[in-house]
Structure 1
Amino acid sequence: MSLKITLTEAVKTAMKAKDMAQVKVLRGVQAAIKQIEIDNQVELDDKGVLEIIQKQLKQRSESLEIYKTNGRDDLAEQEQFEINVISQFLPEQLSEDALNAIITETISDLGASGMKDMGRVMNAVKDKTTGQADPAAVSGLVKKALAG
């Protein structure tokens, strides 16, 4: 079952349970997906949907940090709730060891030898790990592998 269908089914389930807070979050994600599809005149596959879900999570995580820093616990709670709802649609996250293995394999496949190859390696690793790893964490591991 595709990720978009899974998302739609989750909205239906939340509506039946009268959990309007969850419905609001899920509809927001659906709206973001639909907006990208309309703007780019494409039908997104699971990989594209995962990228949007990751972007939604990143936005909420950044907001959460800002709210915590400014002492807005009420807003921070809402952001954390939204993160929890959206996170259920991500596949299981890769361990650091698994990520390092993918990065090492990619570097050898591409013949990368230094920081000048960072962009190529990042693009290749990103394609392999979409939805399964935080891009910022991947970037740090790629830098470490290329530097040392």
Structure 2
Amino acid sequence: MIRDTIKSAQVTAMKAGDKERLAAVRLILAKLKDRDIELRTASSVPDDDAIVVEVLQKMVKQRRESIEMFRNGGRDELAAKEQAELEVIEGFLPAQLSEDETKATIERIKTEVGAASVKDMGKVMAVLKERHGSVIDMSKASGMVKAALG
């Protein structure tokens, strides 16, 4: 499980004295704990790896946005800090599909669902997220689906 990998990475970072990595791993664990607390009241709980991947993907998106804003604002030192956190977070995510693999997957789903125009984008995105949400960057996939249906 991904959560176990993250916890062991925390111990490894502590033993190695790697303060930056330790801080990033602790941040991940704190976000996971927050998500666990949110799910206590939920009627159905997805499996643990799906929760972890969802949290990690959200954190990656936040870091990328922050890096862009810091670079635009001339704060390269803060952008570098965010970049270091981003690399740690991405290290725990499952391997992402390449752009070509993503396009092929989109084409298969498009044919399967019978999508013909941009109006059917929601159908394709729903199936794509359900089946491949953990290994595809959905923000990039959105543009690819739109291009495939356009």
| TM over 0.5, shorter chain | yes
1:109 aligns with 2:108: no
* Superposition TM-score, scaled by structure 1 size: 0.92
SS in 1 for 2:92: coil
* Superposition TM-score, scaled by structure 2 size: 0.91
Q: CA deviation at 1:43?
A: 6.9
1:87 aligns with 2:90: yes
Q: CA deviation at 1:128?
A: 2.5
Q: 1:1-148 to 2 correspondence within 5 Å?
A: 2-41=1-40, 42=45, 44-147=47-150
Which segments of structure 1 move beyond 4 Å, counting only runs of 4 or more? none
> Is the CA contact 1:37–1:43 (under 8 Å) kept in the aligned structure 2?
no
Within 1, Cα distance between the matches of 2:134 and 2:3?
14
Percent identical: 42
| CA deviation map 1:43-80 (0-9, x unaligned) | 75212211110100110110000110111111111001
Q: CA deviation at 1:130?
A: 2.2
Q: CA deviation at 1:10?
A: 0.5
RMSD: 1.4
> Can you give the 5+ residue segments of structure 1 that lack an aligned partner in the other structure?
none
Within 1, Cα distance between the matches of 2:99 and 2:90?
19
> Can you give the 5+ residue segments of structure 2 that lack an aligned partner in the other structure?
none
